[in-house]
């Protein structure tokens, strides 16, 4: 067996309780099954270990050595300690970590290209995003396990390896395949319209009863010459450059707090936002009235506003707000914000960092696919 074969450590779980959380969990499990199959086709993975809090879920994947490691119910989940514990128990040095919603658009060829240089005995890493990693392959994992154990979130792993631990780290070129992550309901709604998702995820997305009308209305604005689109949040230049190259719409960009998770600013309470200050001045109705006067559609990474206000509502509240289900939101501010968003005169897609990066690039790909003449 080649010494360059990889141990895949896949974490799937974390949401349960409300209907919207359960829907995201099912989508993550489906996407994880597709990811396991796709990576198995590369010939680089020698074994896979799934860390999960759901002992009833075991994907059916003949041909790939697979172990399910169930979270201990008496221990609070901590990302770094969980991953480090797996590395030490298995004795793995060449590791590919991935979250359950990672890389739903990456093909076997994409993975082969991504891992082609992940060889040899020198310290190294390759990831989809150095500053907010959804998946990352790194070596030597056992020597780094004690440092990995200090990390609270997986997004910070690429940053820590490259910026703090001096591990040479290669980040893939930005694209929908490398940057779309299924973090929020908006990501699922976009993925449902993309032609390249895997069969398990496709079935899970088709079973959702969430409306795709807002996504379709945003696509209409994007595809129309002279349409006006606003993009708010932690978007990266590659995402809006892809939009600029593929469309002839006018774009307003409000970019704030990129890297707030990986850098620790969120954890330390240091997030600041000019739009959050404006929101405080004019109120939620005034905010969306002004936004509606400037654009015909908007994609909004609302997590920056939440962090700048010093509040972080529950996952159920955040996800229901993304779907504009304001009646289901318990946090008073987020409930009022979502109610105002639902009354806005323009279509809005609300979500997190992935929405205004991989999600935006996926929307561009959907638009380009629809423009192609049918054979």
Q: SS3 of 123, please?
A: coil
pLDDT band per the 50, 70, 90 thresholds, residue 374 = low
Q: What is the mean pLDDT of residues 56-60?
A: 81
Tell me the CA distances in angstroms from 107 to 83, 219, 274, one per residue in order: 25, 25, 39
Q: How far apart are CA 70 and CA 83, in angstroms?
A: 13
Q: How far apart are CA 130 and CA 243, in angstroms?
A: 22
Do the domain assignments include residue 1? no
Do the domain assignments include residue 365? yes
Among residues 123, 176, 134, 178, which one has the least CA distance to residue 159? Answer: 134
Q: SS3 of 6, please?
A: strand
Among residues 338, 263, 344, which one has the least CA distance to residue 305? Answer: 338
Q: Are residues 54 and 185 in the same domain?
A: no
Contact 187, 101 (CB under 8 A): yes
Q: Are residues 161 and 197 in the same domain?
A: no
Domain boundary at 149, 172, 195, which?
A: 172
Among residues 217, 227, 239, which one has the least CA distance to residue 365? Answer: 239
What b/e sequence results for 114-151 when a residue is b if at least 16 CB atoms lie within 10 Å of its CB, and e otherwise? bbeebeeeebbbbbbbbbbbbbbbbbbbbebbebbbeb
Q: pLDDT tens, 322-348?
A: 999 999 999 999 999 999 999 999 999
Q: Are residues 157 and 274 in the same domain?
A: no
Domain boundary at 133, 152, 172, which?
A: 172
Q: Are residues 337 and 192 in the same domain?
A: yes
- Phi–psi pair at 353, nearest 5 degrees: -60, -40
Q: pLDDT tens, 261-294?
A: 877 888 899 999 999 999 999 999 999 999 999 9
pLDDT at 41 over 60: yes
Q: Are residues 94 and 153 in the same domain?
A: yes
In this prediction, residue 32 carries a pLDDT of 94
Do the domain assignments include residue 157? yes
Q: Are residues 29 and 151 in the same domain?
A: yes
Report the percentage of the chain scoring pLDDT > 70. Answer: 98
Q: Is the dihedral of CA 191, 193, 197, 200 positive or negative?
A: positive
Do the domain assignments include residue 208? yes
Q: What is the mean pLDDT of residues 13-38?
A: 90
In this prediction, residue 261 carries a pLDDT of 82
What's the token pair of residue 163? 């910026």
- Cβ count near 64 (within 10 Å): 16
Q: How far apart are CA 135 and CA 181, in angstroms?
A: 10
Q: Are residues 165 and 252 in the same domain?
A: no
- Report the number of distinct structural domains present in the chain: 2
In this prediction, residue 2 carries a pLDDT of 57
**Distant-in-sequence, close-in-space partners of 120: CB < 8 Å, separation ≥ 6:** 4
Q: Are residues 132 and 186 in the same domain?
A: no
pLDDT at 1 over 60: no
Assess whether the previous peptide bond of 364 is cis (omega < 30° from 0): no
Q: How far apart are CA 242 and CA 138, in angstroms?
A: 29
Q: Are residues 206 and 154 in the same domain?
A: no
Q: What is the DSSP letter of 155?
A: G
Q: Which residue has the higher pLDDT, 13 or 144?
A: 144
pLDDT at 143 over 80: yes
Do the domain assignments include residue 375? no
Q: What is the CATH number of the domain that holds 113?
A: 3.90.550.10
Do the domain assignments include residue 127? yes
User: pTM for the full model?
Assistant: 0.93
- Domain range holding 323? 179-369
Q: What is the mean pLDDT of residues 75-81?
A: 92
- Cβ count near 206 (within 10 Å): 8
Do the domain assignments include residue 374? no
| Cα dihedral 137/139/140/141 (nearest 10) | 0
Q: Are residues 165 and 191 in the same domain?
A: no
Q: Are residues 96 and 239 in the same domain?
A: no
pLDDT band per the 50, 70, 90 thresholds, residue 171 = very high
Domain boundary at 142, 172, 202, which?
A: 172
Q: pLDDT tens, 109-130?
A: 999 999 999 999 999 999 999 9
Q: At what angle do helices 332-343 and 274-294 cross, to 10 degrees?
A: 20
Q: Are residues 185 and 164 in the same domain?
A: no
Do the domain assignments include residue 222? yes
Q: Is the dihedral of CA 101, 106, 112, 115 positive or negative?
A: negative
Q: How far apart are CA 208 and CA 252, in angstroms?
A: 31
pLDDT at 66 over 90: no
In this prediction, residue 375 carries a pLDDT of 46
Q: SS3 of 8, please?
A: strand
Contact 193, 337 (CB under 8 A): no
Q: What is the mean pLDDT of residues 301-316?
A: 94
């Amino acid at each position: 067996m080649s010494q360059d074969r990889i141990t895949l450590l896949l974490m799937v779980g974390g949401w349960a309780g409300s209907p919207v959380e359960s829907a995201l969990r099912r989508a993550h499990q489906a996407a994880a099954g597709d990811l396991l199959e796709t990576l198995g086709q590369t010939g680089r993975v020698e074994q896979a270990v799934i860390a999960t809090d759901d002992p009833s879920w075991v994907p059916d994947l003949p041909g790939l050595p697979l172990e399910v490691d169930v979270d201990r119910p008496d221990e609070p989940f901590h990302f770094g300690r969980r991953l480090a514990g797996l590395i030490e128990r298995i004795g793995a040095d060449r590791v590919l970590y991935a979250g359950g919603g990672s890389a739903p658009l990456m093909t076997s060829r994409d993975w082969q290209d991504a891992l082609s240089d992940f060889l040899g005995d020198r310290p190294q890493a390759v990831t989809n995003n150095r500053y907010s990693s959804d998946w990352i392959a790194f070596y030597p994992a056992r020597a780094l396990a004690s440092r990995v154990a200090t990390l609270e979130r997986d997004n910070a792993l690429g940053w820590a390896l490259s910026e703090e631990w001096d591990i040479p780290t290669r980040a893939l070129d930005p694209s929908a395949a490398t940057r779309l992550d299924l973090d929020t309901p908006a990501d699922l709604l976009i993925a449902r319209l993309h032609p390249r998702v895997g069969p398990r995820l496709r079935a899970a997305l088709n079973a959702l009863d969430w409306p795709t009308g807002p996504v379709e209305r945003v696509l209409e604005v994007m595809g129309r010459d002279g349409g006006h689109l606003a993009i708010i949040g932690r978007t990266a230049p590659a995402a809006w450059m892809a939009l600029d190259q593929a469309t002839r719409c006018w774009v307003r960009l409000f970019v704030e707090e990129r890297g707030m998770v990986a850098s620790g600013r969120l954890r330390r309470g240091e997030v600041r936002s000019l739009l959050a200050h404006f929101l405080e001045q004019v109120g939620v109705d005034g905010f969306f009235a002004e936004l509606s006067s400037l654009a015909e559609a908007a994609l909004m990474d609302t997590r920056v506003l939440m962090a700048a206000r010093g509040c972080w509502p529950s996952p159920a509240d955040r996800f229901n707000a993304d779907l504009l289900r304001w009646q289901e939101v318990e946090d008073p501010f987020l409930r009022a914000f979502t109610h105002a968003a639902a009354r806005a005169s323009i279509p809005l897609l609300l979500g997190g960092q992935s929405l205004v990066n991989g999600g935006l690039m996926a929307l561009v790909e959907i638009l380009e696919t629809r423009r192609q003449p049918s054979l």
